[in-house]
Structure 1
């Protein structure tokens, strides 16, 4: 491991420039990035833009607009829909084409909401998860270098037919030695729901997600997160993965992903 996902390279007008490290590499193809580091970097851009606003993220949606190369990228964030109680903020990542022209490769759209005291009305749909003994095999891509090595994986032993559960902890910061917030740490693992809840054998099928949408009724805390995920595959090469997300204190939200399913060559 290099020790972070991105190195800061400076700025170019409204864009921040970053070098993508080998720690961003996808398990599907080492030339492209796993979805988690871009989600975390764009979440960081949104948090930095809105610091001091008094609003907090209620939803983060990553849309992967094209193959994200392990190469220099640039990032910008802007307020799409301003508001004192409800605001939409967008962050975009661009990478250079072979001819040098920049193209958008990923975008995160966030709904930020104004907190208020509803502590007397708290409800959780799911009981907290307690980490148990880890399974012998952490995931189906054992030995794949890159992003997967930057996370501590503790796949749980679950009953036959039950949703898969994995506890995960990111091991490296998003950018250089910058402090990584709890929301960014969650972003560094939640895109992995597709792999955790895989309904297909990755030796026989490729099932890459085009997006990851995370809904949070409570902000995450700490560095340890559990994802309980289940994939569903349709008859026409399209699937979906849905998941419940937990930290050590309990249930914090849900995620959903759209999948393109292809037979492996």
Structure 2
């Protein structure tokens, strides 16, 4: 299967020369509504703009350490107009704000903190010993091509989402989709896009996904080695329809960070994964 055209966006040929106007593809459509773009694509697009902004500064000594996204309006299947502002650039820090606009209105925003890589401290500090691992290589061989995520629950590892509609703890393993067609996917873009999947691993229960996330905060101690990224549910708290979920972020070499997100109940439009099946080329069919 030729996956070279699989991506969330194409460049708008009538946009600005720097390519900050993106057109969503069918792969960017949300499971909540066919008229909306899902958070994976939005977060990836915001990360792409932040990363390009820092590159334009000539700062190859910086690495993204915190990626915070607010999703305060539904993003429509319309052109994405993305702009960035360097809030602060210093010797060891750079803070970039990115705004997504559609039809002149702000739809989402990101605050991205870049830090300089330094020599590790010599002292010893406590850290958890839990290990999170991807599926066995014979189940999910290492790849750079996008594919349907693998999910783990009490049913084991599989790409059949209907197998995992249960109340057990979830882990996902994704080979991320390119943000823009024809552009190489960077590790930061892969991590930022995949981070929206923390809503899946923390909010997916026996009746499907009944909460929709309103934000994403991804904190990274290092970038993934490649574009394969895992998420493992760590914690979840819910009261009065508001949920807070935390997920570990890992690659084939171990943990690299965490995602925290808040979600609001959306049970009347729950995403029922027993009704659909996904293919690597982005097509969806009835189960």
Q: TM-score, normalised by structure 1?
A: 0.82
C-alpha contact 2:167 2:205 (8 A) present in aligned 1: no
Offset from partner CA, 1:87-125 (integer Å, 9 cap, x none)? 2111111111xxxxx111111111111111218669753
1:155 aligns to what?
Answer: 151
Query: Is residue 74 from structure 1 mapped to residue 78 from structure 2 by the alignment?
Result: no
Match of 1:142 in 2: none
Supply the distance in 2 between the matched residues of 1:209 and 1:183 (Cα, whole angstroms). 21
Instruction: Give the corresponding residue for 1:91.
Output: 98
Which residue pairs with 1:64 in the alignment? 71
Secondary structure of 1:196's counterpart equals helix
Compared with structure 1, are the counterparts of its residues 180 and 24 closer, same or farther at alpha carbon in structure 2 (3 Å cutoff)? same
Structure 2: stretches of 5+ with no match in the other structure = 138-145, 156-165, 270-287
In structure 2, how many angstroms separate the alpha carbons of the residues matched to 1:199 and 1:220?
A: 25
Shift in Å, 1:220: 1.4
Give the corresponding residue for 2:48.
Answer: 44
Local SS of the residue matching 2:239? coil
CA contact under 8 A between 1:212 and 1:255: conserved in structure 2? Answer: yes
Distance in 2 of aligned mates of 1:109 and 1:169: 25
Q: Is residue 2:257 matched to residue 1:253?
A: yes
CA offsets 1:26-47 (integer angstroms, 9 cap, x no match): 1111111110111111111111
1:22 and 1:122 map into 2 onto residues whose CA distance is 49
Q: For the residues of structure 1 that align with 2:231 and 2:180, how far apart are their CA atoms?
A: 24
Tell me how far 1:163 sits from its aligned partner.
Answer: 3.3
Residue aligned with 1:94, SS: strand
In the other structure, the counterpart of 2:201 is 196
Unaligned runs of at least 5 residues, structure 1? 97-101, 135-149
TM-score of the two chains, using structure 2 as the length reference: 0.76
Alignment partner of 1:25 is 2:29: yes
Question: Which digits, 9 at most, give the CA deviation of each residue in 1:47-90, with x for residues without a partner?
Answer: 11111312111100111120000111111111012212122111
C-alpha change, 1:177 and 1:128, in structure 2 (3 Å) is farther
The answer on whether the counterparts of 1:133 and 1:156 sit within 8 Å (CA) in structure 2 is no
Q: Say what the alpha-carbon RMSD is for the aligned residues.
A: 2.7
